[in-house]
Amino acid sequence: MNVKILSFLLFYGLPIILIAQNNRDLAKEISNDIESYFLMDISYINDAVFMGRRDSIAAPYIYPSIGYYNASGLFVDISASYLVGSEDNRIDLFMPSLGYDFSDLHLSGRISGTAYFFNKESYNVKSAVLADVSGFLSYNLKILEATLMTNIFFNDGGTSDFFVGLMVNRIFYTNDRNFLVNPTISLYAGSQNFYEVYYKTSRLGNRRGSGQGLGATNLNSATTVEISEATKFNILNLELSFPLQYYHKQFIFSLNPILAIPQSSATITTENSVISEDLESTFYFTAGISYWLDMAKRKS
C-alpha cells in the first residue's frame, strides 16, 4: 500500500477539506505506477459544518471539482460549491488550491494554499474566511496512523486564526483491496476570530441570507457584537468519522458519516446583553463519485 496515499486519506479527513479530495489519493492507491493524473469528482454534503459550528439554516452543497496531480508532488485543484435548498439555489463558493506533497516509508506530509470566494449572500459558518495555508505531517505506526495538522486562516476584516489538530485512524481493507473503511478520531484547537466575523455579518439581524442563526434571537437589534473567546486558543471540536471507499476500474465511490462534538462555547457580548452559546453535537455526511485519468502508461 502506497504510504503517500494513506497520508492523503488522513489529511483529507479534515473538516476544512472536501471529501472529493479523499478520492484523489485513492486514485494513486489503485495503481502505484501512476505518475501524474487528473481527477474529476462530484460530491454532496448535507450541511456545512466547520470546527463543529454550523448555521441554524442547513447549507447542503453539491460540489464538482477537477484537479491535476504531478509526479513531482505538485498539484492544483479547482472546486465549486452549489448551494441546494428550497429557497436558496446558487454557486456559494469557488475554491482554487495549490500545493505540494511528499512521502517516504513511514513519514508523509503536505503543504497547500487555498483561496475562498464566497457568494456575498452566503450564511456558511466559514464565509468570513478569505484564504488559508494548511499543512500536515503523518507517521505510520503500523497498527494505526497519527497525523499532526496546522492551519492558518485569513479572515474578512483583517483577522486571522491558527488551528492545530491531532488525528488518529486505522484503515481496514477487504481481501481484494477494492473496499476500505477508515475509522478516525480527530481533535481540533484554535482561535475563533472567524466565528466573531460570522456572527457580525451572517448570523444576526444583519445576516446576508434569510433566517436567523442559532442563539441569535436576542441579538437582532445589536449594533456591536464581540466574542470574548475569539482570540483565545481553545479546544474547538472532537470529531468521530467512519469513511468508506470503494473503487471499480477508474471510478471511486465514497461515503463519510461524521459526528462533530463542538467544545468551548462562545460568550457573545453586545451593548445590551451577554449570552453564552448553547453548542450541540451535529451529525452530517458526505458522499461522492470520482473518475481518475492516468497521464502515464502503466508498467507491464
DSSP the chain: --HHHHHHHHHTTSTTS-THHHHHHHHHHH-TT--SEEEEEEEEESS--BTTB--SS---EEEEEEEEE-TTSEEEEEEEEEE-SSS--EEEEEEEEEEEEEE-SSEEEEEEEEE-EE-TT---TTTTEEEEEEEEEEEE-SS-EEEEEEEEEEETTS-EEEEEEEEEE--EE-TTSSEEE--EEEEEEE--HHHHHHIIIIISTT-SSSS--TT-GGGTT-S--EETTTTS-EEEEEEEE--EEEEETTEEEEEEEEEEEE-S--EEE-SS-EEE-----EEEEEEEEEEEEESSPPP-
Q: Please tell me the distance from the alpha carbon of residue 43 to that of residue 252, in angstroms, as a whole number.
A: 11
For 147-178, what is each residue's pLDDT tens digit?
999 999 999 889 999 999 999 999 898 888 88
The residue type found at 79 is S
Mean pLDDT across 227-232 = 85
Q: Please tell me the distance from the alpha carbon of residue 35 to that of residue 294, in angstroms, as a whole number.
A: 8
Share of the chain above pLDDT 90, in %: 46
**Residue 293 in this model has a pLDDT that exceeds 50:** yes
Residues in the chain: 300
User: In this predicted structure, what is the pLDDT of residue 199?
Assistant: 82
**Residue 28 in this model has a pLDDT that exceeds 70:** no
Mean pLDDT across 59-67 = 93
Burial code (b: 16+ CB inside 10 Å, e: under 16) for 16-33 equals: bbbbbbbbbbbbbbbbee
Share of the chain above pLDDT 70, in %: 79
Residue from 16, 290, 259 nearest 152 by CA: 16
Q: Please tell me the distance from the alpha carbon of residue 236 to that of residue 125, in angstroms, as a whole number.
A: 14
| Top mean-pLDDT range of 26-35, 195-204, 245-254 | 245-254
Average pLDDT of the chain, as a whole number:
81
User: In this predicted structure, what is the pLDDT of residue 6?
Assistant: 37
Lowest mean pLDDT among 72-76, 205-209, 256-260: 205-209
For 105-156, what is each residue's pLDDT tens digit?
788 889 999 999 999 888 899 999 999 999 999 898 888 999 999 999 999 8
**Residue 300 in this model has a pLDDT that exceeds 90:** no
Global confidence as pTM? 0.82
CA distances to 11, 77, 269, 284 from 204, rounded to whole Å, are 33, 34, 13, 24
| Top mean-pLDDT range of 66-70, 89-93, 156-160, 256-260 | 256-260
Pick 3-294's CATH classification: 3.90.230.10, 3.30.870.10, 2.40.50.140, 2.40.160.40: 2.40.160.40
